[in-house]
Amino acid sequence: MALMTAAPSAFAETNFPKCQKGEIDAKVHNKKFLVGQDCKSDGRADFSNGPARNGYAKKSQSKKKPSHIQVSYVDGCYQDQLMTPDLRDCNYQLKTFCGEGRRWIRRMEVNTRIEENKAGSIVYGPRVCVDEDGNVVPGAGQESFDLNDVAGLITVPPRLHADNGGRGIRHAHTNFYTDAIYILQNSTLNGEPALIRATPIEYHWDYGDGTTRTTEVAGSSQSEFNVETATSHQYEETGTYTVTLNTVYMGEYSLDGGQTWIPIDGTISRESDPLQADIFRTVTRNVADDCVENPSAWGCGAPGEDSDPAR
């Protein structure tokens, strides 16, 4: 999981004072911004029920939190990550994720009716990035999925198949297909349940005779011989050909149980193991013997044997 541009401050577990008459009265590292309990001010974030969407407070009055729920905003730094190159320490995160003049915080609710250190006694909200005025910077400081997460879903490349074991006749359609399907996995994002999936969107076929094709379908097996499909191919000459397939995946994630999907930038490609296609030709001749009764008769041999003129 990757982090988008955002940053933490170097303070931790700090309870900010309540805002008074909409004044900005919290200071951290000589920076003033609106953060604390029950903060309300037109045009600024209302933190009484969490940072307002797009950093602006609604004028409507919010419901007051029960007295046993204590709300504060604490440092968003990932602690004890010196061995993680993308996180390191809090100062590194501060410079990397949020940038100059911003702070990375997260909402913390303490339920005083639950014994300390027990499940549910402390509930954290997602990390957000705020500017000097306490306005939430949209998208900043929040975790997001990236192509590495998509790649992690595709642990095995799709298999390449051919009807009749890859044996075909020149000028006839030899059918190829793959078993590539979309891959779905449960995950979490910013502490909330999420779904992530990888979906094949393009198939790049190389039939081994200099012919290539790109399709949007994976193809399927055909019960009949010489059926033209979106993924079949006609070879002009006999021989043995190496067929390859490259499948392109796109990634998406959902935060509402799969009702809506958010695309992830970029694509991932996976190369299937190559497949061999043996292409023969047909010759029609009159024979004096029944090949069922006398399989060794002229013209009755299996494909590729010396007695077979059809190679």
The per-residue pLDDT for 142 is: 55
- Lowest mean pLDDT, pick from 38-52, 86-100, 130-144, 196-210: 38-52
> How many Å apart are CA 43 and CA 20, to the nearest integer?
15
Tally Cβ neighbours within 10 Å of residue 199: 17
Summarize pLDDT for 107-147 with one digit per residue, the tens. 788 888 888 877 778 887 767 778 888 777 765 555 678 88
Where are the domains positioned within the chain? 1-144, 155-280
> What mean pLDDT, rounded, does the chain reach?
75
CATH entry, 155-280, from 3.40.1410.10, 2.60.40.10, 3.40.30.10, 3.40.50.300: 2.60.40.10
Summarize pLDDT for 138-190 with one digit per residue, the tens. 655 556 788 888 999 999 999 999 999 999 999 999 999 999 998 999 988 76
- What are the angstrom distances between the C-alpha of 69 and each of 21, 34, 124, 153, 219? 23, 20, 12, 39, 57
The per-residue pLDDT for 98 is: 76
